[in-house]
Amino acid sequence: MTKQAYAVISYGLAGSVLILLGSVGVGWLVTDSPLSRWGPAIWLRSEHAGVAVSVIALTAGCWVLFHAWLRLRHVMTGTGDAAALSTVTSAAVVWSAPQLLAVPIFSRDLFAYLNQGRIVLAGEDPYTTGVSALDNWFQLGTDIGWAEDATPYGPLFLWLAAGVMRLSGDSAELAVLLFRLLCVLGVILILIFVPRLAKQLGTDPASAQWVTGANPLLIISFIASAHNDALMVGLALAGTWCALRAGTSGSSAHWLWGVAAVMLLVASIGTKLITLVMLPFIGLLWAGSRASWPRRFAYWFLTLGLAGGTLIGIGMIGGYGLGWVSVLAGAGSGATFWAPLTILAAPFAVVFLLLDQSPDIVFDTMSLIGRITAIIVVLYLMFRGGEQRIFQRMMWAFAAVVVLSPLIQPWYLLWILPLFAAAGYLTDTPMRWPLWLTIGATGFFLAFGAADQLSIHQFLDVDLAMMLVSIGVSVVGATVIWFSDARVRSIVLSGDPAAP
């Protein structure tokens, strides 16, 4: 590893440590956390100056890590494929390490996992019973929005959540750590299989790893925030790689790799249902790129039979039957202002508001249109497209499901980022806008998370002020990076990391 690489990795580590320190002051804690009684944490969380220091550290750390990520693109070039991949993977591991100890930031979905595990242990059905049925559910940090809602997670993850809560007992901090370790397993799978998929597809493994594994948004969302999407994505990538191997293998290896692919994807679906969209393409990959139509249908039925039988079994063992599938299929209501469908619906929603009518029907209608369109796109890509481009067809089908929804959380983009990275659509292409869009979205969502998701005591009455402070730090950080670093500009504008 070169001295430049060491310097950039150390620089990014400093940013990650700043995020860790900032999280102590404005991260999410359970009500009776021992950390809230620690002297320095009391000052950081209960004094105006302490909160301000925490917000500045958290936001500045995000931009330092973001800058290091972009600089890493420069230092990894010209070092050889193996050395470049090693450098990027080392950076991802080093930058992730402090986030294992961070107080949860950017989201508090993690605390919903605690109570949903408790629901399972209490013998209740989490697909019909909200966490408000539990004693002390609010003290464990779960957002009130989860009070009456059914869980949006698959039965396999609920088993894991119940196991975590059984092991952790009354220690919420231990439960948080165990959930985070489950997410680390998902990140490890991502770090292993993104470069392997890239190599299999003939693209640059190091570049794919840089876009995905070392991405600050992935590190924060999948480790600091501990979204179980990390496990879902990691398992899906592992299954996809196995399916590619199955399609090019003969004899017994063909069947072993194929069954492994389906089972790994079933585990992903059992975590979150959304990766169900990948299942028909896993069947196509297993059948092979030159499969006849009768062979394709045979492998679709085989894939469906294996996956369906296993999922039914999982549901039966958990006592949920297939009810969990129908519940999850209807999950995901709401809207985010950056989603394309929300932008399209906004003018019509304004008209309804001016007429003193609820705009809900506008968003509901747009959501329905989006779902129908996504289904049409998926079905089209199942049957049409190049025989050698099955992976790319799966990638675009998954992207359609994500983009054609009025609700796109920042970490939802991490569902499809590894697929686009492995296929070379972000770095191994003469087009500049895909990488520009990826970098821009990463910076935007880092700034948004640092400003919007802050845990600040209400009695301080500084929520708006701290949001403005965070936005100010983000504006300064982005401006300094852009105007002071010509190499960063060259990566964004020309896609050439070797430019001076």
Residue pLDDT, tens place only, 100-131: 999 999 998 898 898 889 888 888 888 888 88
Percent of the chain with pLDDT over 70: 95
Q: Taking the domains of the chain in order of start, what are their residue ranges?
A: 1-105+431-500, 333-403
Least Cα distance to 495 among 412, 439, 411, 422 occurs for 439
What the block records as the tokens of 168 is 């952790």
Virtual torsion, Cα 135, 140, 141, 147, nearest 10 deg: -30
> Is the pLDDT confidence value at 290 over 90?
no
Residue pLDDT, tens place only, 191-227: 999 999 999 999 999 999 999 999 999 999 999 999 9
Residue of higher predicted confidence among 269 and 385: 269
The per-residue pLDDT for 330 is 62
The per-residue pLDDT for 80 is 59
Cα 441 to Cα 490: distance, rounded to the nearest angstrom: 18
Least Cα distance to 401 among 422, 428, 419 occurs for 419
The per-residue pLDDT for 79 is 56
CA distances in angstroms from 430 to 73, 209, 231, 257, 451, listed in the order given: 17, 19, 32, 34, 35
CA distances in angstroms from 482 to 66, 110, 210, 434, 485, listed in the order given: 12, 34, 20, 18, 6
The per-residue pLDDT for 364 is 86
Least Cα distance to 477 among 70, 100, 88, 45 occurs for 70
What the block records as the tokens of 94 is 């080093």
Local structure of residue 120 (DSSP, 8 states): H
The per-residue pLDDT for 326 is 67
The per-residue pLDDT for 81 is 77
The per-residue pLDDT for 393 is 95
**Residue 320, φ and ψ in degrees, nearest 5:** -100, -10
Cα 363 to Cα 96: distance, rounded to the nearest angstrom: 37
**Contact status, residue 240 vs residue 280, Cβ threshold 8 Å:** no
Least Cα distance to 397 among 299, 249, 244, 284 occurs for 284
> Is the pLDDT confidence value at 15 over 80?
yes
> Is the pLDDT confidence value at 496 over 60?
no
Q: What is the mean pLDDT of the chain?
A: 89
Q: What number of residues does the chain have? A: 500
**Contact status, residue 441 vs residue 413, Cβ threshold 8 Å:** yes
What the block records as the tokens of 267 is 């585990």
Tell me the H-state helices in 149-292: 155-168, 172-201, 205-212, 216-219, 229-248, 251-269, 279-287
| Stated pTM of the model | 0.92
Residue pLDDT, tens place only, 317-353: 877 766 667 666 665 567 888 999 999 999 999 998 8
User: pLDDT category, 75, cuts 50, 70, 90?
Assistant: confident
Q: Could you give the 3-state DSSP secondary structure of residue 491?
A: helix
Across 175-189, average pLDDT:
95
Cα 66 to Cα 484: distance, rounded to the nearest angstrom: 14
Cα 300 to Cα 291: distance, rounded to the nearest angstrom: 12
The per-residue pLDDT for 414 is 96
Contacts of range 129-138, beta carbons closer than 8 Å, 24 or more positions apart: 138/31
CA angle 434, 440, 446 (to 5 degrees): 135
User: pLDDT category, 500, cuts 50, 70, 90?
Assistant: very low
Helix (H) or strand (E) holding 90: helix 81-96
Across 7-31, average pLDDT:
93
> Is the pLDDT confidence value at 24 over 90?
yes
Residue pLDDT, tens place only, 402-425: 999 888 999 999 999 999 999 999
**CA 375 centroid distance within chain:** 22
The per-residue pLDDT for 134 is 80
